[in-house]
């Protein structure tokens, strides 16, 4: 099997409703997709970089550039694991690397007839679905959004928080929907250790975890904060590799890990993060980056591994998109099904893709 080239494509996906986090508001998702063409098959990759470098240093145009200028020319084989090794000499750019690896892995698995889930080691055919709820304009609109998600069957609610939008929304959701709802919060690094006493007020709401309260590079302060709170800490932005996960766990910087393949450079490294955490008895869950059906298919396969013991941000397609590029992922009894077909097990619809495309370029390899 030989790689002939990769088509880079940017699509603009309108969001159902704006998604607000402590780092910004997203009105539409600008997604970079890769189509790897080999002598035997095609494979799809989705780059999770966002349009601006607000969640991490990567952004869509930068990812497209590094893929074209450095990552694709460095490929010596179209075996995903070997490609990942070849790309590792370039510093950083994990989301760009993850997208290339995903496209090659999909091509390779489609050629051999194996699913992503089987390849990664999935032990479940469906995974429980959680949902990430953006910062709302006011408490009544937050409550109506949460009510809708609970009615749809979501098994876990994650509220985005920031200074000024934390204790009150959590208290309101608990008061309205009760103590049985699995509830957690995500700060996207919006606090400092000086906020410890304020954050300790969240301890009375029996949250599953507080995700990434402090800066990405501040593992020591996370370890200090963890000792001041009863609520478990989870890390997202800080966990950039399996090695970083091992270090964070050894420091006591978190008790739970959010696994995002884009953030750690790919699905193979994501599996290693899972393995490190499993060896430490630390629960993990699968994060999300507003993926289309392509990235969602791979995430759901990953979330079916045995260490993923908490519901992830593996929502249905219609959480974000009225029309997905693939057949939509739907909620079935609060779960999302792991595709069983070869590779990702889903494929984009050519017409939907064409109608959303803003830029496309063929890069021969």
Output the smallest distance, CB 146 to ligand OSB, in A.
Answer: 14
Could you give the C-alpha distances from 100 to 67, 72, 178, 263, 340, in angstroms and in order?
8, 8, 44, 13, 22
Whose tokens are 């952004």? That residue is: 59
Under the binding rule (CB under 5 A), the answer on residue 269 touching Mg ion is no
Output the smallest distance, CB 134 to Mg ion, in A.
Answer: 12
* Tally of CA atoms within 13 A in the half-sphere of 48 that contains its CB: 27
Q: Are 294 and 47 in contact (CB under 8 A)?
A: no
Q: State which residue has the least CB distance to ligand OSB.
A: 288
Point out which span in 172-180, 193-201, 245-253, 288-296 binds ligand OSB (CB under 6 A).
288-296
Which of the choices Mg ion, ligand OSB, none does residue 30 contact, using the CB cut-off of 5 to 8 A by kind?
A: none
Other CB atoms closer than 10 Å to residue 227's CB: what's the count?
9
Q: Are 4 and 17 in contact (CB under 8 A)?
A: no
Other CB atoms closer than 10 Å to residue 200's CB: what's the count?
14
For the segment 134-193, give every residue that binds ligand OSB (CB under 6 A).
186, 188
Q: Which of 2, 91, 243, 260 is catalytic?
A: 260
Point out which span in 63-71, 281-289, 301-309, 329-337 binds ligand OSB (CB under 6 A).
281-289
Question: Going along 107-155, which residue ranges are E strands?
Answer: 126-128, 130-133
Under the binding rule (CB under 6 A), the answer on residue 261 touching ligand OSB is no
Annotated catalytic residue 91 = no
Output the smallest distance, CB 132 to ligand OSB, in A.
Answer: 4
Output the smallest distance, CB 28 to Mg ion, in A.
Answer: 20
Which of the choices ligand OSB, Mg ion, none does residue 298 contact, using the CB cut-off of 5 to 8 A by kind?
A: none
| Binding residue (CB under 6 A) for ligand OSB from 94, 128, 265, 287 | 287
Under the binding rule (CB under 6 A), the answer on residue 315 touching ligand OSB is yes
Output the smallest distance, CB 24 to ligand OSB, in A.
Answer: 9
Helix or strand or coil: residue 189?
A: coil
Residue 117 and residue 344: Cα distance in Å, rounded? 8
For the segment 83-122, give every residue that binds ligand OSB (CB under 6 A).
none
Of the candidates 280, 279, 269, 274, the one whose C-alpha atom is nearest the C-alpha of residue 310 is 274
Point out which span in 111-119, 199-207, 240-248, 282-290 binds ligand OSB (CB under 6 A).
282-290
Of the candidates 337, 343, 364, 318, the one whose C-alpha atom is nearest the C-alpha of residue 43 is 343
Nearer Cβ to ligand OSB (110/269): 269
Under the binding rule (CB under 5 A), the answer on residue 26 touching Mg ion is no
In angstroms and rounded to an integer, the radius of gyration of the C-alpha atoms of the chain is 20
Which of the choices ligand OSB, Mg ion, none does residue 288 contact, using the CB cut-off of 5 to 8 A by kind?
A: ligand OSB
Q: Which residues pair with 361 in a beta bridge?
A: 8
Residues in the chain, overall count: 365
Under the binding rule (CB under 5 A), the answer on residue 236 touching Mg ion is yes
Point out which span in 59-67, 230-238, 264-272, 303-311 binds Mg ion (CB under 5 A).
230-238
Annotated catalytic residue 158 = no
Whose tokens are 């979501």? That residue is: 154
Could you give the C-alpha distances from 359 to 15, 35, 104, 116, 119, in angstroms and in order?
19, 14, 21, 28, 32
Output the smallest distance, CB 199 to Mg ion, in A.
Answer: 16
Q: Are 185 and 159 in contact (CB under 8 A)?
A: yes
| Binding residue (CB under 6 A) for ligand OSB from 58, 221, 236, 324 | 236
Q: Which residues bind ligand OSB (CB under 6 A)?
A: 55, 132, 186, 188, 236, 287-290, 313, 315
- Give me the active site residues, please: 160, 260
């Amino acid at each position: 099997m030989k790689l002939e080239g990769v088509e880079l494509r940017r699509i603009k996906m309108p969001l159902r409703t704006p998604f607000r986090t402590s780092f910004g508001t997203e009105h539409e998702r600008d997604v970079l997709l890769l189509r790897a063409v080999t002598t035997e098959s095609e494979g799809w990759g989705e780059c999770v970089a966002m349009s601006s470098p607000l969640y991490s240093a990567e952004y869509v145009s930068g990812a497209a550039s590094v893929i074209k200028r450095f990552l694709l020319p460095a490929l010596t084989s179209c075996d995903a694991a070997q490609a990942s090794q070849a790309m590792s000499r370039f510093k950083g750019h994990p989301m760009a690397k993850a997208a290339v690896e995903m496209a090659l892995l999909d091509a390779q698995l489609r050629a051999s007839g194996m699913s992503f889930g089987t390849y990664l080691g999935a032990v479940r055919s469906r995974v429980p679905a959680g949902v990430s709820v953006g910062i709302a304009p006011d408490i009544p609109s937050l409550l109506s959004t949460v009510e809708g998600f609970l009615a749809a069957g979501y098994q876990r609610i994650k509220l985005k928080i920031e200074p000024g939008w934390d204790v009150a929304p959590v208290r309101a959701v608990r008061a309205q929907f009760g103590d049985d709802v699995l509830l957690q919060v995500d700060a996207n690094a919006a606090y400092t250790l000086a906020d410890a006493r304020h954050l300790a007020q969240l301890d009375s709401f029996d949250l599953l975890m507080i995700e990434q309260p402090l800066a990405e590079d501040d593992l020591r302060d996370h370890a200090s904060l963890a000792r001041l709170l009863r609520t478990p800490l989870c890390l997202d932005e800080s966990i950039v590799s399996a090695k970083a996960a091992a270090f964070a766990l050894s420091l006591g910087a978190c008790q739970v890990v959010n696994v995002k393949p884009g953030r750690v450079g790919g699905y193979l490294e994501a599996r290693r993060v899972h393995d490190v955490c499993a060896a430490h008895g630390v629960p993990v869950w699968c994060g999300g980056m507003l993926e289309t059906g392509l990235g969602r298919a791979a995430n759901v396969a990953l979330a079916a591994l045995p260490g993923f013991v908490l519901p992830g941000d593996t929502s249905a397609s219609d959480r974000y998109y009225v029309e997905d590029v693939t057949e939509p992922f739907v909620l079935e009894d609060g779960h999302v099904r792991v595709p069983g077909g070869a590779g990702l097990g889903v494929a984009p619809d050519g017409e939907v893709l064409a109608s959303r495309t803003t830029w496309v370029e063929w890069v021969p390899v």
